[in-house]
Amino acid sequence: MNVTSQLQQLFASGKPSHAYVIECQKSVAKSLLLDCAKVAMCQNYGCNNCVTCKKISQGNHADCISLPTDTQKNKLTVADVQLLVEESIKRPVDSGNVRVFTIDATDSVTGVGSAIWQNKLLKTLEEPLPNVYIFVAVQNAHSLFNTVLSRCQVLTEGRTSPKEVCNQLVAEGFLPQYAQVAAALATDVAHAKKLVADNSYFDAFNLAMDMLRGMTSTKTALPYVSAICQNAGVQDKILGMLSVILHQSVTYRLQPDLCLLVDYEQQLLDVCANYSIQAALVIVEKLNQTNKRLQNGGNFTVEIDKLAIEMSEVKYRCRI
Ligand SMILES: [Zn+2]
């Protein structure tokens, strides 16, 4: 079912959430967000014919505020989120009795700025206001901080959810442990099937898991770092795997139902014991930065050494 139909059901049931993460392709984000606003604001949940719907389509409904304000760069700024914070506490001024904020975050989930706007938005999400609805469009819900994600309902446009991807692989006879790892990494079923047939992903998964469980300080880093450096086949996958496992460890703590790695619970508990939620999220950002430096020609061994030190520092700094 597409996002608009799901939303219509939720709003018609009278129990909509105050915030939604809309997972969709970047190319459809803007129009889909306007459709979401129509469902929230129109008396008929998005008829496309009434004054409210027409104003939203034309982008001139005073109670439907679309961010980022700079549509050319399409990058969210702190000023954008500040505008949301200020506008969300004002009364509706146009036709209708709700205010809607649509956020196209498809270009704003990476980089330093991403942490700043997400942390600022988090405050608003933590204290929802009556008659205010927030829709955040991203290509992948897990590119958002789990702290943000856990306060929103996720709706996916035209894509099978990771749980469904996992179930489908298991139904086709793949081992659950493999299906879970593939589903955690994949964007859809076809992608997951490619991953599940490639052993190097599981080598990378095992090395990443070992490192997250066993590396308690820089003193114990060496065996993990050398195992990764000696296995050329996993080097382009290890950072992604570390990130997936850390994300899953956060999901396990905040939204256990959504955690995919159900057959790895013991291992995840070790990871949780090593890294607080805050530490896991900071390290994911460090992994993104390491990845960027590698893409710009950084030396793999040097970067992994540096990463191991950073991970130990963050683990200590953000201990529970
Ligand atoms: Zn309408």
Residue with tokens 């993990």: 224
For 251, counting Cβ atoms within 10 Å of its Cβ (0-12 exposed, 13-18 middle, 19+ buried), the class is buried
Compute, in angstroms, the gap from residue 36 CA to the centroid of ligand 1: 11
Compute, in angstroms, the gap from residue 34 CA to the centroid of ligand 1: 12
Token pair recorded at residue 312:
């130990």
What's 282's domain CATH number? 1.20.272.10
Residue 129 and residue 42 in one domain = yes
Residue 207 and residue 135 in one domain = no
Q: What letter represents residue 9's amino acid?
A: Q
Dump pLDDT digits (tens) for 130-169: 899 999 999 999 899 988 998 999 998 876 778 889 999 9
**pTM for the whole structure:** 0.59
Residue 180 within any structural domain of the chain: no
Compute, in angstroms, the gap from residue 28 CA to the centroid of ligand 1: 20
Residue 46 and residue 124 in one domain = yes
**Closest CA relative to residue 264, chosen from 213, 214, 196:** 213
Compute, in angstroms, the gap from residue 41 CA to the centroid of ligand 1: 8
What percent of the chain has a predicted confidence (pLDDT) above 70?
99
Give me the domain span that covers residue 283.
198-317
Neighbours of ion ligand 1 (CB under 5 A): 42, 47, 50, 53
pLDDT of residue 1: 63
Last residue of a domain, one of 92, 126, 156: 156
- Out of 72-81, 150-159, 295-304, which region has the weakest mean confidence (pLDDT)? 150-159
Residue 183 within any structural domain of the chain: no
- Domain tally, the chain: 2
Residue 220 and residue 140 in one domain = no
pLDDT of residue 202: 95
Residue 128 and residue 208 in one domain = no
Compute, in angstroms, the gap from residue 69 CA to the centroid of ligand 1: 24
Compute, in angstroms, the gap from residue 49 CA to the centroid of ligand 1: 5
